[in-house]
Amino acid sequence: MSALAHVPTGQSTGAKPPPAARRGRYRALPYLLLLPGGGWLLLFFALPLLQLAAASLYDPGGSLATGYAMTWAFGNYPDALAAYWPHFLRSFGYAGLALVLALLMGYPLAYAIAQKAGRWKNLLLVCVVAPMFTSFLVRTLAWKTILSDNGWVVGLLRDVHLLGPDGRLLATPFAVVLGLTYNFLPFLVLPLYASLERLDPRLLEAASDLYASPVRAFRRVTLPLSMPGLVAGTLLFFIPASGDYINAELLGTPNEYMIGNVIDSAFLVRLDYPQGAALSFLLMAAILAVVFGYLRRAGTEDVL
Amino acid sequence: MRTPLRPLTRRGLLTGTLGSAAMLAVGGSLAGCGTKGAQQTEAGCASEDLSATEKKLAFSNWPQYMDVDEKDESKRPTLDAFIARSGIQVTYTEDVNDNNEFFGKVQNQLAGCQPTGRDVMVLTDWMAARMIRLGWIQQLDTSKMPNVSANLLPSLRGRSFDKDNQLAVPWQSGLAGIAYNGKVTKELRTVDELLTRPDLKGKVTALSEMRDTMGLLLQSNGHDPSNFTAAQFDDALNKLKKAVDSGQIRKFTGNDYAPDLAKGDIAACIGWSGDVIQLGFEDDKIKFVVPESGVMLWSDNMLVPNKATHKANAEQLMNYYYEPAVAAQLAAYVNYICPVQGAQAEMEKIDPELAANPLIFPDDAMLAKAQVFMALDEKQEREYESKFQQVIGA
């Protein structure tokens, strides 16, 4: 701001600053504007991350009482992976399954709101966002009540023999995937909506004038144009879903525990900080790998 | 179509990642000095007592663990009476919701010998044992607490983590045993029946709290949970594993088993006396059983952490809550096992029915079977907890 305020003063006194210096000032401006955000990121993201990286290399033989020595114990990583690889697979499996379900529901929903809702558009958008007004925990606990063994949902499914007399929904993988799908759906729908809302319907008319079938028009026009939203939405959905542990904790049993539950218990219950830190980094690495692979396939350089 | 977003390219992502990795490498070498031990000694972390001049006390407890006035929930009769009598201003906070979570809250201060801002906190046996082991708890002056010395239940004296009863004073206690719903199943008497009876298959839950479940299993094998070997633990764990693998045990729970037991979704379980007694008030078919082989006794304990500056005030409060009349008034509200001898006689005056309830005032036969789980060192705790987690989890 000071650079901006200074310029008119210089002009009014008639002493024109040399053009090079003036350019220099303006050149510094973006960096000054970056300072608050960058400082925040450094202090609350980069430094804790460093601390975590260091903790993941502490001597695994250390303890809370004696402290942990830094021994560059890279062996913590293979050890953690060997002990908990099923939880990694399960996390990505559940998150992937939830993503597929969310896409099946979310894409038509976003399309309908963006293109067909007319004057109901804003109301429907509010409906998508409305559950966010209550806490994540409360929403998940509500599902616990809905899916309860004595609730009407399970009762109905038993009556129509979709579930055996002792069948249940709660405390099964189904409940966990359902919880993930429900809780992260808005993160998928909103970016998709933003993309689809800009879709010009005349393009679809043009496609049909050129003898494209509705399916072909969708594949060649709608889908490519919604790619930015689709990519952003799937990432916003998949990344938090694969690290989530609340749904597995509340709607599942230890047999459904995901990698987030293991990290939680390493830090809070078992007090094994090197292992907890190593698992956190492995999770980050795995998510980055998945995201890279996905972006490469989705060809984002063209669409983003 | 172009979007207003700045294009995110693979190259950009890659540069960002590499940059972060480089920063990590630099920072890693800076942070490469490890952490200091959390262990404290009495000499190394001495605390001052300002009780003589400051009539104050900060008391952290679990929610719904203190009697409140029926008409006005903001009034706490026993605590208010203490404040009026002693002139000590008590700041009562219900901020203990979970032992592990609370540990995380005070861990950094106590590990660094810093004040936590609390003079008394209430934690369960095993967490109390851990903090005592780490040297985080101040020794109490028993001469200032004659009521505690006189009235503490004999089963709670000389516990393995507090042999001389100078560190942890039980606030309330409870039993972990087995419970069943008589509407759904016939009588149940032993842990072995719970783990093997065919008609209970898939209708049994056990507690995810290792010390309670494993304590009962150790007892059912004829071993002593207050003093066992690693081999005995493994035996008991195998027994549990068999019941999990055969599908006998449906789930491991915290206290969320209670509604399921009431509804009859689960027929029998390992559970806590406090929950079952509540269910029993509404439905007398729900019964708590003290197995022949033994029952686990746990307590939530009042502890004075290092650097708490009102230890004498805290001792005065503990002494007050060990007056039988006060203990009875509290027990009538919270319905856990009252650790104070003589409170039963006082309870006769308040509510004779509660006074006769063995799950609030256990009789001698019941107490003779009650045991407290052994205090574990950090290595054992980690080893046993990991093994147990593996059986109840994946």
Domain boundaries of chain A, sorted by first residue: 77-303
Count of C-beta atoms within a 10 Å radius of residue B188: 22
**Residue A165, min C-alpha distance to chain B (Å):** 11
Share of chain B residues as helix, strand and coil, in percent rounded to the nearest 5 = 45, 15, 40
Residues B255 and B388 in one domain: yes
Closest CA to B55 of B91, B95, B92, B93: B91
* CATH classification of the domain holding B304: 3.40.190.10
Tokens of B351: 């509510």
Residues B159 and B231 in one domain: no
pLDDT at A10: 41
Count of C-beta atoms within a 10 Å radius of residue A4: 10
pLDDT at B9: 57
Residues B168 and B130 in one domain: yes
Residues B148 and B197 in one domain: no
Chain B: residue whose CA lies nearest to A149? B265
Give the CA count within 13 Å in the CB-facing half-sphere of B218.
Answer: 25
Beta strand B89-93 with B56-60: parallel, antiparallel or unpaired? parallel
φ, ψ of residue A76 to 5 degrees: the values are: -55, -35
Chain B: residue whose CA lies nearest to A225? B1
DSSP B199: G
Please report whether residue B351 resides in a domain: no
Please report whether residue B287 resides in a domain: yes
- Whether B173 and B372 have beta carbons less than 8 Å apart is answered as no
pLDDT at B211: 93
- Give the number of domains in chain B: 2
Please report whether residue B354 resides in a domain: no
Please report whether residue B179 resides in a domain: yes
Alpha-carbon gap, residue B138 to B92, rounded angstroms = 20
| Residue A138 CA: distances (Å) to CA of A101, A131, A266, B334 | 22, 10, 25, 27
* Residue A246 pLDDT class (50, 70, 90 cuts): very high
Over 70: is that where the pLDDT of A8 sits?
no
pLDDT at A13: 47
Positive or negative CA dihedral for B298, B299, B300, B303? negative
Are the Cβ atoms of A269 and B104 closer than 8 angstroms?
A: no
pLDDT at A1: 39
Chain A: residue whose CA lies nearest to B136? A65
* Residue A6 pLDDT class (50, 70, 90 cuts): very low
H helix count then E strand count, chain B: 16, 10
Tens digit of each residue's pLDDT (9 = 90 or more) over A222-239: 999 999 899 999 999 999
pLDDT at A288: 92
Residues B64 and B150 in one domain: yes
Closest CA to B372 of B134, B165, B63: B165
Count of C-beta atoms within a 10 Å radius of residue A295: 18
For residue A65, the chain B residues in CB contact (below 8 A) are 37-39, 133-134, 378
pLDDT at A99: 97
Matching CATH number, A77-303, of 1.10.3470.10, 3.40.50.1820, 1.10.3720.10, 1.10.287.70: 1.10.3720.10
For residue A58, the chain B residues in CB contact (below 8 A) are 34-35
pLDDT at A7: 43
Alpha-carbon gap, residue A187 to A199, rounded angstroms = 20
Most A CBs within 10 Å, among B35, B102, B107, B260, to test the A interface: B35
Residues B60 and B149 in one domain: yes
The partner residue sitting opposite B386, judged by closest CB among A67, A171, A270, is A270
Chain A: residue whose CA lies nearest to B6? A304
For residue A67, the chain B residues in CB contact (below 8 A) are 34-38
Residue B201, H or E segment: none
Are the Cβ atoms of A254 and B394 closer than 8 angstroms?
A: yes
Mean pLDDT, chain A, integer = 86
Share of chain A residues as helix, strand and coil, in percent rounded to the nearest 5 = 80, 0, 20
Count of C-beta atoms within a 10 Å radius of residue A81: 14
Over range A260-269, report the average pLDDT.
88
φ, ψ of residue A39 to 5 degrees: the values are: -65, -40
For residue B28, the chain A residues in CB contact (below 8 A) are 50, 53-54, 57
Alpha-carbon gap, residue B273 to B174, rounded angstroms = 6
Please report whether residue B279 resides in a domain: yes
The partner residue sitting opposite A68, judged by closest CB among B34, B265, B393, is B34
Q: Can you give the residue range of the structural domain that contains B262?
A: 174-297+378-392
Are the Cβ atoms of B1 and A65 closer than 8 angstroms?
A: no
φ, ψ of residue B33 to 5 degrees: the values are: -110, 5
Closest CA to B311 of B39, B46, B37, B105: B46
Beta strands, E only, B80-203? 89-93, 120-124, 169-181
φ, ψ of residue B67 to 5 degrees: the values are: -65, 140
Alpha-carbon gap, residue A254 to A172, rounded angstroms = 10
Alpha-carbon gap, residue A80 to A71, rounded angstroms = 17
pLDDT at A9: 44
As for the ipTM of the complex, it is: 0.72
User: Residue A261, class by beta-carbon neighbours within 10 Å (0-12 exposed, 13-18 middle, 19+ buried)?
Assistant: buried
Beta strands, E only, B53-124? 56-60, 89-93, 120-124
Please report whether residue B192 resides in a domain: yes
Residues B208 and B260 in one domain: yes
For residue A271, the chain B residues in CB contact (below 8 A) are 378, 382
Please report whether residue B168 resides in a domain: yes
Over 80: is that where the pLDDT of A14 sits?
no
Most B CBs within 10 Å, among A145, A264, A271, to test the B interface: A271
Are the Cβ atoms of A271 and B24 closer than 8 angstroms?
A: no
Residues B194 and B73 in one domain: no
pLDDT profile of chain B (394 residues), mean per 10: 46 57 54 74 86 94 89 90 95 90 91 94 94 94 95 91 94 94 92 93 88 95 94 96 88 81 88 87 89 93 96 96 95 89 92 88 88 88 87 68
Chain A: residue whose CA lies nearest to B134? A65
pLDDT at B133: 92
Please report whether residue B104 resides in a domain: yes
Residues B115 and B201 in one domain: no
Residues B106 and B244 in one domain: no
Alpha-carbon gap, residue A155 to A133, rounded angstroms = 30
Residues B168 and B183 in one domain: no
Alpha-carbon gap, residue A88 to A261, rounded angstroms = 11
Tens digit of each residue's pLDDT (9 = 90 or more) over A109-134: 999 999 998 899 999 999 999 988 99
Are the Cβ atoms of A67 and B34 closer than 8 angstroms?
A: yes
Closest CA to A98 of A234, A253, A227, A192: A234
Q: State the first-to-last Cα distance of chain B, in angstroms, to the nearest integer.
A: 48
**Residue A223, min C-alpha distance to chain B (Å):** 12
3-state secondary structure of B134: coil
Residues B61 and B109 in one domain: yes
Lowest-pLDDT choice from A94-108, A157-171, A239-253, B205-219:
A157-171
Whose structure tokens read 């032992």? B99
